[in-house]
Amino acid sequence: MFSEIKKSLLVSVWFMFLTFPIMVVKVNTIENTIIWRWENLVLVGFGSFFLSFLWRFMHNKKATKRRQDYKDALSKIFYDNLIENKKVFVPIIIALIIFILLFPKLFSTYQVTIMTTALIYIVLGLGLNVVVGFAGLLDLGYVAFYAVGAYTYALLNFNYDISFWVALPLAGALGALAGILLGFPVLRLRGDYLAIVTLGFGEIIRLVLENWGEVTHGPSGIAGIERPNFGFDLSIVGSINAIYYFVFLFVLVTIFFTNRLQNSRIGRAWVALREDEIACQAMGVDKTKTKLSAFAFGATWAGFMGAVFAAKTTFINPASFTFLESAIILSIVVLGGMGSIPGVILGALILILLPEYLRAFSEYRMLIFGGAMVLMMVFRPQGLIKSKRRRYNFESMSKKQLKERQNAASS
């Protein structure tokens, strides 16, 4: 116990030293004043003293837990008790769907708009999950495809009055095309080289949008984009609710597609490629086609969502498509659990709704957000919900086959 206190004291002294210039001294070189805020030093000292206990406690817990069983408790509960137990899973899903459908009735329009944003990010997260989670290609410029989609609809609508429903598939297609365009030059690149090139690609798209004023209207953006026409006249609130339902539908479609793809031929090729490129090629998987399809498939969803985003806000400018946006989408994927669809959904809800509900902390919210990202990674490096590897159970399979055979024989 004494050694613990000593450790914490050391930590506390270290942090008091570390934060001294920035927390205590406030120099204003404009007015030439120096303010000494000693109370902050005390705050840091006490804060770090107690937090260091908590930190060690959490670490010990994490370490002992790992020794006890290798299975991750949360994910285990999640899969065994929720997903695979039909008795629990079906009612929960039905309740959830009813809640989501009733959401606009229960809450204000404001809540609906932020929920729509969260749903958009679920689709973006699921799209990026294909590239990063399944195929293992680190993409730091995913927001570029989102921008392509958004500008596709915005420009078509602005210049040619083309409706949302015509532009939506085009946005998806152009997103996919941009994905392939990016994919070609980077086929040879691996790991972090790929990361920086995709980052560069994202920046290039943003800079072109910013500078090519004749076409993109530059930094002042495009205003007055039409909301989608749902076939009947809607008030603005009605239209916001309609977009909400539409995006929700889109989320379902995306979940369905990515889930089905995961276990398809191409989905397994992606996973194989992620695990070992050379072995994968030796088994006869076409590397070029597989990688490009991952890029294209991921980008398609971003393209679709870009168009939805433009229609939802009715105004876009390049400032919405910065690197930070890519980083947030990537964080959704990693934080939720790479390759895990329920994880990504949870990650998107947390990362998008958290800052909105942290508004009470106003200026502290980004600080808390950054700190929470670090802590979540340190204590749950696998993400919130680990992706589940498909396992083949030979015993049960053979039993089933046996039965089938028996049936076949008897008939």
Partner 1 sequence: MRSFITILAVPVVFAALSISVFAADTIKLGVAGAHSGDLASYGIPTLRATRFVVDEYNKNGGIDGKKIELLAEDDECKPEKAVNAATKLMSQNVDAVIGHICSGATKAALSIYLSQMIPIISPSATNPDLTQSGDYPIFFRTIAPDDAQARLEVDFAVNELGLKNIAVIHDKGDYGKGLAEYARDFLEEIDSVNVVLFEGVTPGALDYSAIVQKIKNSNADGVIFGGYHPEASKIVSQMRKKKMDIPFISDDGVKDDTFIKVAGKYAEGVYATGPKDVSSNPMAKEAERKHMEKYGEQSGAFYLNGYAAAQAILKAIDNADSTDPEKIMEALRTNYVETTLGKIKFDEKGDAIGVGFSVYQVQNGEYVELDY
Partner 2 sequence: MEYFFQLFFAGLTKGSIYALIALGYTMVYGIIQLINFAHGEIYMIGAFTALIVAGVLSVFNLPVAAIFVIVTLVAILYSSAYGYTIEKIAYKPLRNAPRLSALISAIGMSIFLQNYVLLAQTSDFLPFPSLIKEFEFLRPYNHILSSSGLVIIVSTFIAMVLLSLYIKFTRMGKAMRATAQDKKMALLLGINVDRVISTTFVVGSALAALGGVLIANHIGQINFFIGFIAGIKAFTAAVLGGIGSIPGAVLGALILGWTESFSTGYISSDYQDVFAFILLVVILIFKPSGILGKKTDQKV
Which residues sit at the interface with partner 1, rule CB under 8 A?
A: 30-31, 108-110, 113-114, 117, 210-211, 213, 218-221, 223-224, 235-237, 240, 309, 312-317, 319-320, 359, 362-363
Q: Which two tokens stand for residue 294?
A: 């991952």
What is the Rg, in whole angstroms, of the alpha carbon atoms belonging to the chain? Answer: 25
Tell me how far apart the terminal alpha carbons of the chain are, to the nearest angstrom. Answer: 74
Measured CA to CA in angstroms, residue 153 lies from 33, 198, 306 at distances of: 52, 23, 8
Is 196 among the residues that bind partner 2 (CB under 8 A)? yes
Is 319 among the residues that bind partner 2 (CB under 8 A)? no
Measured CA to CA in angstroms, residue 405 lies from 196, 400, 401 at distances of: 55, 9, 6
| Helical residues (DSSP H) of 263-286, grouped into ranges | 265-275, 277-282
Is 327 among the residues that bind partner 2 (CB under 8 A)? yes
Q: What does 108 bind: partner 1, partner 2, none (CB cut-off 5 to 8 Å by kind)? A: partner 1
Q: Where in 210-239 is the site for partner 2 (CB under 8 A)? A: 211
Is 367 among the residues that bind partner 2 (CB under 8 A)? yes
Tell me, what DSSP letter sits at residue 284?
T
Q: Which two tokens stand for residue 87?
A: 């008795």
Q: Where in 56-75 is the site for partner 2 (CB under 8 A)? A: 59
Nearest-approach distance from CB 302 to partner 2, in angstroms:
19
Do residues 37 and 23 lie in contact, with contact meaning Cβ atoms separated by under 8 Å?
yes
Is 361 among the residues that bind partner 2 (CB under 8 A)? no
Q: What does 359 bind: partner 2, partner 1, none (CB cut-off 5 to 8 Å by kind)? A: partner 1
CA distance 40 to 42: 5
CB-wise, 32 or 68, nearer to partner 2?
Answer: 32
CA distance 304 to 311: 11
Is 374 among the residues that bind partner 2 (CB under 8 A)? yes
Nearest-approach distance from CB 274 to partner 1, in angstroms:
33
Nearest-approach distance from CB 378 to partner 2, in angstroms:
5
Do residues 164 and 153 lie in contact, with contact meaning Cβ atoms separated by under 8 Å?
yes
What is the enclosing helix (H) or strand (E) of 26? strand 25-28
Pick the closest to residue 292 from 128, 215, 180 (CA basis): 180
Q: What does 278 bind: partner 2, partner 1, none (CB cut-off 5 to 8 Å by kind)? A: partner 2
Which stretch in 2-10, 14-22, 67-75, 232-240 sits in contact with partner 2 by CB under 8 A?
A: 14-22
Is 25 among the residues that bind partner 2 (CB under 8 A)? yes
CA distance 273 to 278: 8
Is 43 among the residues that bind partner 2 (CB under 8 A)? no
Is 83 among the residues that bind partner 2 (CB under 8 A)? no
Q: Report how many residues bind partner 2 under the rule CB under 8 A.
A: 62
Q: What does 114 bind: partner 1, partner 2, none (CB cut-off 5 to 8 Å by kind)? A: partner 1
Measured torsion, CA atoms of residues 335, 328, 308, 290, in degrees rounded to the nearest 10 = -70
In the shown chain, the binding pattern of residues 261 to 290 toward partner 2, with x for contact by CB under 8 A and - for none, equals ----------------xxx-----------
Do residues 132 and 344 lie in contact, with contact meaning Cβ atoms separated by under 8 Å?
no
CB-wise, 29 or 410, nearer to partner 1?
Answer: 29
Measured torsion, CA atoms of residues 84, 85, 91, 97, in degrees rounded to the nearest 10 = -10
Query: What is the three-class DSSP state of 388?
Result: coil
CB-wise, 235 or 411, nearer to partner 1?
Answer: 235
Residue environment code for 98-127, b if the CB has 16+ CB neighbours within 10 A, otherwise e: eebeebbeeeeeeebbebbbbbbbbbbbbb
Nearest-approach distance from CB 310 to partner 2, in angstroms:
23
Q: What does 229 bind: partner 2, partner 1, none (CB cut-off 5 to 8 Å by kind)? A: none
Which one among 294, 330, 341, 346 touches partner 2, defined by CB under 8 A? 330
Nearest-approach distance from CB 97 to partner 1, in angstroms:
24
Do residues 332 and 351 lie in contact, with contact meaning Cβ atoms separated by under 8 Å?
yes
Is 334 among the residues that bind partner 2 (CB under 8 A)? yes
Is 34 among the residues that bind partner 2 (CB under 8 A)? yes
Question: Using CB under 8 A as the criterion, which residues of the chain lie in contact with partner 2 when the complex forms?
Answer: 14, 17-19, 21-23, 25-30, 32, 34, 40, 59, 132, 138, 185-186, 188-190, 192-193, 195-197, 199-201, 203-204, 207-208, 211, 277-279, 323, 327, 330-331, 334-335, 338, 363-364, 366-367, 369-374, 377-378, 381-383
